[in-house]
Amino acid sequence: MKMIVAAAFAFVAVSAGALNLVPQPVSVKETGGELKFEGEIAKLAAYSVDSSIPKEGYRLSVTKDGVKVSSSDEAGRFYAEQTLAALVVTKEVPPTKKGEKKTVETSLPCVEIYDYPRYPWRGVHLDECRHFFGKETVKALLDLMAMHKLNRFHWHLTEDQGWRVDVPGYPELVKYGAVRSASVLHGKRASSGSKINADRLNGVKYGPYFYTEADLREIVDYAAKRHIQIVPEIELPGHVYAALAAYPEFACNPENLAERDPRLVWGIEKDVLCIGNDKAIKFMEDVLDWVCKVFPGDVVHIGGDECPNVRWKTCPKCQARIKAEGLGDEHGLQPWITRHFVKFLEARGKRAIGWDEYLLGDVPKSAIGMSWRERSASGAGHKLVSGAAAAERGHDVVMTPCSYCYLDYTQGLKEDPFFYIGGKVTLERCYSFDPCAGVPDGAKSHILGGQGNNWTEYTWNEYDLAWKLWPRMCALAEVFWLGEKKPGFDDFKRRIKAHRAKLVAAGVNCAPLE
Ligand code: ACM
Ligand code: ZN
């Protein structure tokens, strides 16, 4: 995926005459004829502000005389430019006499487009902890997101298997948390609970891999230029094993972390943050305080999924907290810590978002849910607060159900060289996703949108990642942009063929359609 950075905005159109836009705009009228041009098309467009156009929307007119763009905000102007780039037709003109070189002609079809998004949250998630991809791959992904009018990059930066950010004042985080002594052998499964299947490990040190504050600021800036907000995720109170490897004293049972090695296999880890330890809570506060300063967006993800409470059951500090706060039993600890951090972030002008488990118990309505489970048996078996139920309770929700949005699930291709975590999410399945399905009319305004999730237990490099992302993310991008207005899979399939060819021509390791 590294190679597409520069090429991404200079597509060679493969089928003149058919627009083949992805996502399809809300309204497109081809008016006949073309506008020939030379140079950068965005610079030739006459721009005006029109406050009646919805947020991030735009009006675009291409006639033989020129290009006009209007929008009510900068994001709308930016998306008009993305559409213009996708409309460009490049034709090779053969030489007419000996010694003459062939030339290239660029033109735009004459069109009238009116366009705006259905959902404000159109996201892509990337887990950089199980495997690390680095700055260039992230920037290439941000370029492709912009092209598909996707505007939230959910960056999963901390996990059991790796801690990927260098937080001032906590040097052990990257010393111990950003490197692990081995990984699961490529193409093998080794995730049976906490048991380490030593014969399934590769024995190869992985890391240290992490981002410095300067790296993060560089990527924040790169994303902002593409109208993408980064949503950093710092997992708590579960999925913190790499942090505990760095600071074992923040676990209920520090002796379990004596090797100071992040978790080597995948799956659900029982050693989690000790909620009875004020120093462990202060550590997370310091991390989140720094995150709030580095990431200017208004939302911070605090994880919350798959947190077993077995260690809390027998931990004297956690039991003392339960008593002091009147929390009943260990089930009361996660809602208590969630309330704490929702308020902590609010005091810094941010809203918390978390996986659906964090909505269990009495959690402030300002907390945004990210709905990933469809059955309560998933994850650590916590009761299920469905996305619809959360929205009915008054929480804003981002819908990312695993059976539509998990791009680490098998694509169902005739041939596929890559290895997946399991499940099945075909291109058609992605396209059939409706973020508002099952949500009562009165609660639909709480559905902020959706997101494609890239968990990377079995995704090792940028080629593997690109293959799993594209073209399924193209389908999700159209769902998030058009919502109920999407024209249907047959129409999408016709357009995606040409669109995929453009992606491949630009160097993206895009999977085939079937
Ligand atoms: C998740 O897939 N555990 C959010
Ligand atoms: Zn404890």
Do the domain assignments include residue 435? yes
Do the domain assignments include residue 469? yes
| Pairing relationship of beta strands 103-115 and 447-454 according to DSSP bridges | unpaired
Do the domain assignments include residue 449? yes
pLDDT at 15 over 50: no
Are the beta carbons of 209 and 162 closer than 8 angstroms?
Answer: yes
User: Do 78 and 142 have their domain in common?
Assistant: no
Q: Report the domain count for the chain.
A: 2
Provide the 3-class DSSP secondary structure of residue 62.
Answer: strand
Q: Is the dihedral of CA 273, 274, 280, 282 positive or negative?
A: positive
Pocket probe for ligand 1: among 372, 454, 456, 459, the residue whose CB has the most ligand atoms within 8 Å is: 372
User: Do 161 and 48 have their domain in common?
Assistant: no
Last residue of a domain, one of 69, 99, 115: 115
pLDDT at 137 over 50: yes
Instruction: Scan for tokens 């039993």, then name that residue.
Output: 329
CATH at 88: 3.30.379.10
Is the peptide bond between 440 and the residue preceding it cis, with omega within 30 degrees of 0?
Answer: no
Residue 420: the pLDDT is: 97
Q: pLDDT tens-digit profile of 367-404?
A: 999 999 998 888 888 999 999 999 999 999 999 999 99
Does ligand 1 lie within 6 Å of residue 305's CB atom? yes
Does ligand 1 lie within 6 Å of residue 355's CB atom? yes
Residue 43: the pLDDT is: 83
User: Do 104 and 170 have their domain in common?
Assistant: no
User: Do 208 and 281 have their domain in common?
Assistant: yes
Starting from the CA of residue 403, give the closest ligand: 1
What is the amino acid identity at position 424?
K
Q: State the alpha helices, DSSP H only, in 89-171.
A: 135-147
Pocket probe for ligand 1: among 158, 306, 374, the residue whose CB has the most ligand atoms within 8 Å is: 306
At residue 186 the predicted structure's pLDDT band, cuts being 50, 70 and 90, is: confident
Mean predicted confidence (pLDDT) in 183-202: 77
The three-point CA angle 425-427-432 to 5° equals 85
At residue 353 the predicted structure's pLDDT band, cuts being 50, 70 and 90, is: very high
Last residue of a domain, one of 93, 115, 137: 115
Last residue of a domain, one of 59, 87, 115: 115
At residue 190 the predicted structure's pLDDT band, cuts being 50, 70 and 90, is: confident
CATH at 180: 3.20.20.80
User: Do 226 and 309 have their domain in common?
Assistant: yes
pLDDT at 501 over 90: yes
Q: How far is C-alpha 410 from the geometric centre of its chain's CA atoms?
A: 18
Do the domain assignments include residue 511? no
- Whole-number Å distance, alpha carbon 453 to ligand 1 midpoint, is 9
| Pairing relationship of beta strands 121-127 and 152-156 according to DSSP bridges | parallel
User: Do 238 and 301 have their domain in common?
Assistant: yes
User: Do 85 and 132 have their domain in common?
Assistant: no
Q: pLDDT tens-digit profile of 44-70?
A: 899 999 999 999 999 999 999 999 999
Starting from the CA of residue 305, give the closest ligand: 1
User: Do 102 and 150 have their domain in common?
Assistant: no
User: Do 223 and 309 have their domain in common?
Assistant: yes
Q: What is the mean pLDDT of the chain?
A: 94
Are the beta carbons of 83 and 61 closer than 8 angstroms?
Answer: no
At residue 3 the predicted structure's pLDDT band, cuts being 50, 70 and 90, is: very low
- Whole-number Å distance, alpha carbon 489 to ligand 1 midpoint, is 28
Do the domain assignments include residue 363? yes
User: Do 89 and 229 have their domain in common?
Assistant: no
Residue 356: the pLDDT is: 97
Nearest CA to ligand 1 atom 2: 372
Does ligand 1 lie within 6 Å of residue 160's CB atom? no
Does ligand 1 lie within 6 Å of residue 306's CB atom? yes
At residue 198 the predicted structure's pLDDT band, cuts being 50, 70 and 90, is: confident
Pocket probe for ligand 1: among 455, 456, 457, the residue whose CB has the most ligand atoms within 8 Å is: 455
Nearest CA to ligand 1 atom 3: 305
User: Do 134 and 41 have their domain in common?
Assistant: no
Do the domain assignments include residue 2? no
Domain span at residue 406?
A: 121-505
Max Cα–Cα distance, the chain, nearest Å: 91
State which ligand 1 atom lies nearest to the alpha carbon of 370. 4
Do the domain assignments include residue 155? yes
User: Do 14 and 151 have their domain in common?
Assistant: no
Do the domain assignments include residue 514? no
State which ligand 1 atom lies nearest to the alpha carbon of 453. 2
- Whole-number Å distance, alpha carbon 374 to ligand 2 midpoint, is 30
Does ligand 1 lie within 6 Å of residue 372's CB atom? yes
Residue 330 host element (H or E): none
Nearest Cα to Cα of residue 155 among 206, 215, 79: 215
Q: Is the dihedral of CA 410, 411, 414, 417 positive or negative?
A: negative
